Amino acid sequence: MAARVRLGRAFVSEGSNYFLLLGTTLFLVVFGLVMVLSSSSVESFAAGRDFFADFMKQGGAALLAVPAMLVFSLVPGRWWQRLAVPALVGAIGLQLLVFTDLGYEYGGNRNWLDLGFTNVQPSEFAKLALALWLGKFLADRRDRLADWKQVLVPALVVSAVPMALVLRGGDLGTGIIIACIVLGSLFFAGVPLRQLGVVVGIAIPAALLFSTTSSSRVDRIQSWLSGCADDYANSCWQITHGTWALAAGGVFGVGLGNSKAKWSWLPEADNDFIFAVIGEELGLIGAVTVIVLFVLVAVVFTRIVGGAAPGSMARITVSAIMVWIVTQAMVNIGVILGVFPVLGVPLPLISNGGTALIVSLLAIGVALSFARNAAPEAGVRS
């Protein structure tokens, strides 16, 4: 009884933001497990595995990540300041390993590690580590944000290291998300807009130039620009069948588990294109519900950011996590709707992928930590 009382007191929040973010997150995770089971079972069986193979892996990741998220939410704000630099160094070290014998290529990207018992995507850890490091670095220099030599240049140079390693592996989608994390951190920290304008003016041409370094990326972009009017059997196959899946769902959907697209018609049905299966099986109502849930997540994040002290690590790090989760969701859904070319970005908390789920929940745990730690710390104020 005493242990239960102490545990209950540990999870007392300073306000409703903690429980609202926690509840929405857990709902998205459970919903994602249901959709992973539905969208992956056919392909799993066709590959000679059990119907539940991918679901069990994703469920195992969730069972590991949810308690870890709750533990992270109990960490005092000042600890994140101490862990920021080691976390970034460790994440860069992991990303370097993809260029050794442990790394392997999938879908044209070399950004995975084969550890024998499991596969890991180090770039996911780089997102969280960069959010923590930028929060600490910019908070420590909150009084010098207008000095681009002491703030903007060092921040961009350090951030460029994990980003360059991810792009070296060929993952443009993750590189774009990391760039958004950096820009979001700088914006919410209070870096002058004219400096951010220069950064954006350099970043956009650089991204366009990098997109031309791969023939597959060029084909996907050209198909997107043409509206997939031709080349149906190649670069337009995935986006076309994703569109057909959404159209087949109508308003109310064909029913959970009744998708036809997942029967080998839609590649990555349980991962990057799981939103198309949601739209097919649960219809417009299900798809809009998912969008509304991510809007709710964005609103809660905004409330946490608004409650943090200006220039504090809490404000900067939580804003970086918000930009990461919300932007990645927007990009994933935008690809399915044809707003963006195919970028290979999963839907946070829902798509199949153990590393992405674990790190996303850990990041939300950090945000929950700042949400419930409101007392000012040395160099950090939550």
Sheet of 109-114, strands arranged across: 103-106, 109-114, 119-120
Determine, yes or no, domain membership for 18: no
Determine, yes or no, domain membership for 186: yes
Task: Provide the pLDDT for residue 9.
Answer: 56
Task: Provide the pLDDT for residue 235.
Answer: 72
Distance CA 225, CA 228 (A): 8
Specify whether the CB–CB gap between 239 and 338 falls below 8 A.
yes
Kindly give the confidence (pLDDT) of every residue in the chain, 382 residues in length, as a single tens digit, with 9 standing for 90 and above. Answer: 555 545 555 555 457 889 999 999 999 999 999 999 999 988 888 877 888 889 999 999 999 999 999 999 999 888 999 999 999 999 999 999 999 988 888 777 888 898 888 889 999 999 999 999 999 999 999 999 999 899 999 999 999 999 999 999 888 889 999 999 999 999 999 999 999 999 999 888 888 888 777 777 777 777 777 777 666 667 788 888 899 999 999 999 999 999 999 998 988 899 999 999 999 999 999 999 999 999 999 999 999 999 888 889 999 999 999 999 999 999 999 999 988 888 889 999 999 999 999 999 999 999 999 988 753 443 444 3
What are the start-end ranges of the H helices in 226-353? 237-249, 274-307, 313-336
Distance CA 149, CA 288 (A): 45
Determine, yes or no, domain membership for 11: no
Determine, yes or no, domain membership for 377: no
Number of compact structural domains in the chain: 1
249-267: burial string, b at 16+ Cβ within 10 Å, e else:
beeebbeeeebebbeebbb
> Which residues are 381's β-sheet partners?
376
The domain in which residue 348 lies consists of 26-42+51-372
Determine, yes or no, domain membership for 85: yes
Task: Provide the pLDDT for residue 380.
Answer: 42
Specify whether the CB–CB gap between 341 and 105 falls below 8 A.
no
> In degrees to the nearest 10, what's the CA dihedral of 48, 119, 157, 304?
90
State pTM to two decimals: 0.91
Determine, yes or no, domain membership for 6: no
Task: Provide the pLDDT for residue 10.
Answer: 53
> In degrees to the nearest 10, what's the CA dihedral of 129, 120, 25, 253?
140
Task: Provide the pLDDT for residue 217.
Answer: 76
